[in-house]
C-alpha cells in the first residue's frame, strides 16, 4: 500500500466507469433535513435514540477514507455505504485476484484483474447510489497520504502491512484526524481507535516496528474469510459511532477477537505518550517519512521476500529443473508445515518442517540424515553431497539452510546445502503452470 504515484490505469470492465484522476473533494455540506426517500431508507436507524435525525444528518455530512479495499475494507465500506455516510474515499493500488474472493466480499469473479478501488466503488454504488464513492487507484505514500487524509473526517486503516500502518497513523496525527484501525490473521483479530479524544496513537504503543522476518500476513499465515469480515464490521461500527457523535470505547482500549474460542477481550491501553515521536509534547516526526526504510520491509500485503543467504547458497527454479533433467543425485527437503504439504508437493521431496528443525527435533533430524545417507552414492563419499531446500516462497527455506549447514551427525559426511529461490510458487510460475498456487 505504500509508494508514490498512481498505478497503471485499467480499461473499462464489467460496466465499471473508466478510471479518471480524482481530485481532492471539497467538504460535504451539513444539511438540515432528510428527504422522504432517505427517511424510508434509514428508518430502522432513525428510530434509535442514539442516532435519530440529527445523527443521520451528521452521517450524510461525514467523509471516510478507507485505506485498503480488501478483507477488512470491503465489509467496512459496505456497511458505511448502507448506513448513509456521505462520501467514501477508497484507496487501493492492487487488482482483484482469485485468492481474494473468499474474504473480499465486494469483488466478483467478473472483475478479476480489475482495480480493487474501482471494483469496490462500483459495488457500493449499487448498494447506495446517494453515497459519493471516490476511488483512488494509487499506492499510498508519503507524497499522497497527508493530502488525502486532510480531505476526510475519519480514516479507516484496512491495510495489511506495517509500513502503511505507520504512514497512516502519522498522517492522521499530523492532520488531526481519528484513525480506526484493525487487523486480522488466521483465526484472530484486533481493533483500536487511535488519536481520538486524548487517546494514544499507534506509535505511542509501538514506537519501533517489529523485525521484518517476524511479521506474518494473510498470504503467509492464512486467514478464515469471515474473520476479517467480523473485524471490518466492527471497524464500521466504530466509524459510525464517531461520525454520529456517540464516540467510541476503543480509544483507550484494544479489542482482541479469538474466532476459535468465540471470545472477545478488552485490553486497556496506555494513555498518550508525552514522549511519542509523532503525537508527543515535543515531536521529532513533523513530516511523513520513508516508512519502508523505517520498517525495513516493503509496504505491500504480498508475501515478503527475505534475503538471508549469499547468492552462491541459492539456486533458481530453472537451475533446479536442470539438476532434475541431468539426474544429479541429491536430496530435496520440503520445510513447509504439514497443512501446506497436503495442498501440493513435489514428489521427490523429503518432508522436514522448519518448526521441527528449529526445535532440533531428534526424530526429524535422524530421519533426514538417514535419507541423505541413503541417497549418497558410494563413489561420491569424498565430495559434498547436494541438498536443496524448498518452501512456498523461498523465505523459510533460507532459515532451514542455516540450520542444516550446522548439522553434525556421524556418517553424514560432507553436504552442500542450498535453497531454491522463490520456492514452489516460482516453480509454478516459471516451470510448471499446472502446479497449484495458494
Q: 101 labelled as ligand-binding?
A: yes
Q: What are the residue ranges of helices labelled H in 245-337?
A: 291-295, 317-325
**What is the DSSP secondary structure assignment for residue 307, as one 8-state letter?**
-
Give the pLDDT band of residue 382 (cuts 50, 70, 90): confident
- pLDDT 10s digits, 111-168: 999 999 999 999 999 999 999 999 999 989 999 999 999 999 999 999 989 999 999 9
Give the pLDDT band of residue 19 (cuts 50, 70, 90): very low
Q: Is 233 exposed, middle or buried (0-12, 13-18, 19+ CB in 10 A)?
A: middle
Same fold flag, 62-295 and 311-430: no
Give the pLDDT band of residue 8 (cuts 50, 70, 90): very low
Dihedral sign (CA 150, 299, 18, 111): negative
- pLDDT 10s digits, 217-249: 787 789 999 999 999 999 999 999 999 999 999
Q: 100 labelled as ligand-binding?
A: yes
The set of cell numbers assigned to 142 is: 508519503
- pLDDT 10s digits, 357-377: 999 999 999 999 999 999 987
In degrees and rounded to multiples of 5, residue 117 shows phi and psi of -65, -45
Give the pLDDT band of residue 50 (cuts 50, 70, 90): very high
Is residue 307 among the annotated active site residues? no
The set of cell numbers assigned to 141 is: 505514500
Q: 116 labelled as ligand-binding?
A: yes
Question: 218, 295, 303, 373: which is the annotated catalytic residue?
Answer: 218
Q: 432 labelled as ligand-binding?
A: no
User: What is the C-alpha to C-alpha distance for residues 135 and 138, in angstroms, rounded to an integer?
Assistant: 9
Question: 133, 158, 295, 391: which is the annotated catalytic residue?
Answer: 391
User: What is the C-alpha to C-alpha distance for residues 338 and 290, in angstroms, rounded to an integer?
Assistant: 38
Confidence at residue 380, expressed as pLDDT on a 0 to 100 scale: 64
**Roughly what angle, to the nearest 10 degrees, separates helices 52-60 and 226-244?**
110
Confidence at residue 409, expressed as pLDDT on a 0 to 100 scale: 83
Return the C-alpha torsion angle 79, 147, 218, 276, nearest 10. -110
Confidence at residue 357, expressed as pLDDT on a 0 to 100 scale: 96
If you search the block for the grid coordinates 484526524, which residue do you land on? Answer: 177
- pLDDT 10s digits, 384-407: 999 999 999 999 999 999 999 988
Confidence at residue 381, expressed as pLDDT on a 0 to 100 scale: 67
- Of residues 299 and 85, more confidence is placed in 85
Tell me: pLDDT of 314 over 80. Answer: yes
Confidence at residue 390, expressed as pLDDT on a 0 to 100 scale: 98
User: What is the C-alpha to C-alpha distance for residues 65 and 68, in angstroms, rounded to an integer?
Assistant: 9
User: What is the C-alpha to C-alpha distance for residues 292 and 186, in angstroms, rounded to an integer?
Assistant: 25
Confidence at residue 307, expressed as pLDDT on a 0 to 100 scale: 87
Q: 201 labelled as ligand-binding?
A: yes
Q: 284 labelled as ligand-binding?
A: no
**Roughly what angle, to the nearest 10 degrees, separates helices 73-83 and 226-244?**
40
**What is the DSSP secondary structure assignment for residue 345, as one 8-state letter?**
-
Task: Please compute, for residue 366, the number of CA atoms within 13 A of its CA located in the half-sphere on the CB side.
Answer: 3
Tell me: pLDDT of 12 over 50. Answer: no
CA 93 to chain centre: 13
Dihedral sign (CA 172, 178, 184, 187): positive
Is residue 391 among the annotated active site residues? yes
Q: 43 labelled as ligand-binding?
A: no
Tell me: pLDDT of 15 over 50. Answer: no
Q: 220 labelled as ligand-binding?
A: no
Give the pLDDT band of residue 304 (cuts 50, 70, 90): low
The set of cell numbers assigned to 320 is: 533446479
The percent of residues above 70 in pLDDT, for the chain, comes to: 93
- Of residues 313 and 10, more confidence is placed in 313
- pLDDT 10s digits, 160-214: 899 999 999 999 999 999 999 999 999 999 999 999 999 999 999 999 999 887 8
Domain ranges of the chain: 62-295, 311-430
Give the pLDDT band of residue 216 (cuts 50, 70, 90): confident
Confidence at residue 4, expressed as pLDDT on a 0 to 100 scale: 34
Which pTM does this prediction carry? Answer: 0.82
The set of cell numbers assigned to 317 is: 527454479
Tell me: pLDDT of 351 over 70. Answer: yes
Bridging pattern class, strands 331-334 and 385-390: parallel
62-295: CATH topology is Rossmann fold (3.40.50)
Reduce the DSSP state of residue 320 to 3 states and report it.
helix
Considering the domain 311-430 in this protein, what is its CATH number? 3.40.250.10
Confidence at residue 14, expressed as pLDDT on a 0 to 100 scale: 42
Amino acid at each position: 500500500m505504500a509508494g508514490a504515484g498512481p498505478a497503471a490505469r485499467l480499461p473499462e470492465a464489467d460496466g465499471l466507469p473508466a478510471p479518471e484522476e480524482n481530485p481532492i473533494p471539497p467538504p460535504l455540506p451539513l444539511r438540515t433535513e432528510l428527504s422522504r426517500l432517505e427517511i424510508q431508507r434509514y428508518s430502522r436507524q432513525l428510530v434509535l435514540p442514539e442516532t435519530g435525525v440529527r445523527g443521520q444528518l451528521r452521517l450524510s455530512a461525514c467523509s471516510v477514507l478507507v485505506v485498503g479495499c480488501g478483507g477488512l475494507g470491503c465489509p467496512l465500506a459496505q456497511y458505511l455505504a448502507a448506513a448513509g455516510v456521505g462520501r467514501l474515499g477508497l484507496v487501493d493500488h492492487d487488482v482483484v485476484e482469485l485468492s481474494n474472493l473468499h474474504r473480499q466480499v465486494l469483488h466478483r469473479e467478473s472483475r478479476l484483474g480489475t482495480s480493487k478501488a474501482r471494483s469496490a466503488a462500483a459495488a457500493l454504488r449499487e448498494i447506495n447510489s446517494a453515497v459519493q464513492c471516490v476511488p483512488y487507484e494509487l499506492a499510498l505514500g508519503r507524497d499522497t497520504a497527508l493530502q488525502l487524509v486532510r480531505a476526510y473526517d475519519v480514516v479507516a486503516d484496512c491495510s495489511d502491512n506495517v509500513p502503511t500502518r505507520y504512514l497512516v497513523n502519522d498522517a492522521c496525527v499530523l492532520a488531526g484526524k481519528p484513525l480506526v484501525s484493525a487487523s486480522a490473521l488466521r483465526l484472530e483479530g484486533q481493533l483500536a481507535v487511535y488519536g481520538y479524544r486524548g487517546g494514544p496513537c499507534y506509535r505511542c504503543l509501538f514506537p519501533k516496528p517489529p523485525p521484518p522476518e517476524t511479521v506474518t500476513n494473510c498470504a503467509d499465515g492464512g486467514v478464515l474469510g469471515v474473520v476479517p469480515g467480523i473485524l471490518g464490521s466492527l471497524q464500521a461500527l466504530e466509524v459510525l459511532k464517531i461520525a454520529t457523535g456517540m464516540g467510541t470505547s476503543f480509544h483507550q482500549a484494544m479489542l482482541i477477537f479469538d474466532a476459535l474460542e468465540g471470545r472477545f477481550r478488552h485490553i486497556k491501553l496506555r494513555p498518550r505518550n508525552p514522549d511519542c515521536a509523532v503525537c508527543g509534547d515535543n515531536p521529532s516526526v513533523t513530516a511523513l517519512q520513508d516508512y519502508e526504510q523505517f520498517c525495513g520491509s516493503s509496504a505491500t500485503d504480498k508475501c515478503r521476500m527475505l534475503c538471508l543467504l549469499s547468492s552462491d547458497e541459492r539456486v533458481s527454479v530453472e537451475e533446479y529443473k536442470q539438476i532434475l533433467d541431468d539426474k544429479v543425485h541429491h536430496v530435496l527437503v520440503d520445510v513447509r508445515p504439514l497443512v501446506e504439504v497436503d495442498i501440493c508437493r513435489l514428489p521427490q521431496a523429503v518432508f522436514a518442517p522448519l518448526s521441527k528443525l528449529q526445535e532440533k527435533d531428534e526424530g526429524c533430524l535422524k530421519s533426514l540424515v538417514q535419507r541423505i545417507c541413503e541417497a549418497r552414492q558410494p563413489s561420491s563419499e569424498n565430495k559434498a553431497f547436494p541438498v536443496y531446500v524448498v518452501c512456498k516462497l523461498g523465505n523459510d527455506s533460507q532459515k532451514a539452510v542455516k540450520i542444516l549447514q550446522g548439522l553434525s551427525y556421524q556418517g553424514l559426511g560432507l553436504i552442500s546445502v542450498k535453497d531454491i529461490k522463490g520456492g514452489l510458487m516460482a516453480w509454478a510460475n516459471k516451470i510448471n503452470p499446472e502446479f497449484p498456487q495458494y
